[in-house]
Amino acid sequence: MKELDQYIERALHGDDSYFAVDRAPGAFEEDLLTMRGRCRELAAEFGAGVRNIYLVGAGGALANVVPLKAIFDRLLTIPSDEYQGYALVGQEPTQLGPDSLVFLASNTGETEDTLAALRFARSRGARTIAVGANETSTLAQEADASVGHAEWDDNIFLPPLLVALALSDRIADEVLAAELLAGLGAVPGALRQAVSVELPRAQERAREFLGTTHFFVLGSGVLSALAYKLAYNIVMENVRISAAFIDALEYRHGPCEALERSRPDMLFLLGTDWSREQTLRTLDACHHGGAHTLVYDAADYEGLHPLLTPLVLYMAVQPFVIHSAVARGIVDLYPRVFMGGRGSYSFERSGMEGAGSR
């Protein structure tokens, strides 16, 4: 038991941990302080005449920037869209061109899918900004510009938002812009609150779901992408049980019929945006049907802007994930088995270098 406790302590608090339970609040404050000037410069350099914005990435990096589309749709006068890297190449959107601003998100800067998208976007004359990658990475070297971040990968969300907020001639809602800037300043406090609330109860929650072999992860609105990320990039990647994302608003349009013969384990993300009422309806129906549910509610964090809730709920779930993994004897949370090449089959050895990178 002592050995397991040591693994948990390292995953929660170690400087080399894949997770960021201790580092996230400080990392966010650091990035917010250092990025604002840089992002204003990028807006001035690349923003003139921009007619559309693309958010591109793969895996967790893509999920981190997808919520920005919901923000941009309200904040800006120009359209935005999000693409997986190879999808951008394969679908060849006709509006991608010299008047496009393309944000390409990757923590490593070597993700195969995202590099392919970068090269395609540049071939179409688009303006490209690498987000998250360090300056020596391939993505940062080949993009027109780059902006990195501190240790917490969710901060990939920040640069595109700060650039958009600096596009003064493209702002459709000045009140929302002011609210978001103020809201960003409140995020570190909410992150600290999330850590203080979730750490004490994470072990008990993990034990409650120790027998779980499959999780449905539900969220909607601005939390939809985070629910997707938790299912595919966090639960399956770390706890190594199967999981599936379902948009909470879509659950009653078919999937709810499974409640007649099964009692699923479900993780709910409750937002404070427009999706809250409908997500609560779905949660109530699942309780009525006998589902075993675990709920993380953005309303627990006072002062957190409804459009910024993914930044905090991601951190809130991390202690549960760590305890769930270690309770199952999974202590090699990083590097990965297949993504890092330790398994009998790996994407790297199959000639898909970078496919498992984030």
Q: Do 105 and 62 form a contact (C-beta atoms < 8 A)?
A: yes
Which stretch, 11-20, 21-30, 217-226, has highest mean pLDDT?
Answer: 217-226
Task: Report the pLDDT value the prediction gives residue 336, as an integer from 0 to 100.
Answer: 62
**Of residues 339 and 317, more confidently modeled:** 317
The model's pLDDT over 92-149, given as tens digits with 9 standing for 90+, comes to: 999 999 999 999 999 889 999 999 999 999 999 999 999 987 889 999 999 999 998 6
Does residue 10 carry a pLDDT above 80? no
Task: Report the pLDDT value the prediction gives residue 75, as an integer from 0 to 100.
Answer: 97
The model's pLDDT over 70-98, given as tens digits with 9 standing for 90+, comes to: 999 999 999 999 999 999 999 999 999 99
Strand bridging mode 242-247 / 52-57: unpaired
Provide the mean pLDDT of the chain. Answer: 89
Q: Do 254 and 203 form a contact (C-beta atoms < 8 A)?
A: no
Q: How far apart are CA 141 and CA 130, in angstroms?
A: 9
DSSP, residue by residue, 25-91: HHHHHHHHHHHHHHHHHHHHHH-TT--EEEEEE-HHHHHHHTHHHHHHHHHBSS-EEEEEHHHHHHH
Does residue 348 carry a pLDDT above 80? no
Task: Report the pLDDT value the prediction gives residue 352, as an integer from 0 to 100.
Answer: 43
Task: Report the pLDDT value the prediction gives residue 332, as an integer from 0 to 100.
Answer: 72
Q: Which of 19, 297, 23, 315 is nearest to 195 (CA)?
A: 315
pLDDT category of residue 357 using cuts at 50, 70 and 90: very low
Query: Both ends of the chain: CA-CA distance in Å?
Result: 32
Average pLDDT over residues 19-25: 80
* Predicted TM-score of the model (pTM): 0.89
Domains and CATH numbers, the chain: 24-172 (3.40.50.10490), 186-327 (3.40.50.10490)
Q: How far apart are CA 177 and CA 262, in angstroms?
A: 45
The model's pLDDT over 324-344, given as tens digits with 9 standing for 90+, comes to: 999 998 877 765 666 655 555
Does residue 56 carry a pLDDT above 60? yes
The model's pLDDT over 169-197, given as tens digits with 9 standing for 90+, comes to: 999 999 999 999 999 999 999 999 999 99
Structure tokens at 321: 């994930």
Task: Report the pLDDT value the prediction gives residue 358, as an integer from 0 to 100.
Answer: 42
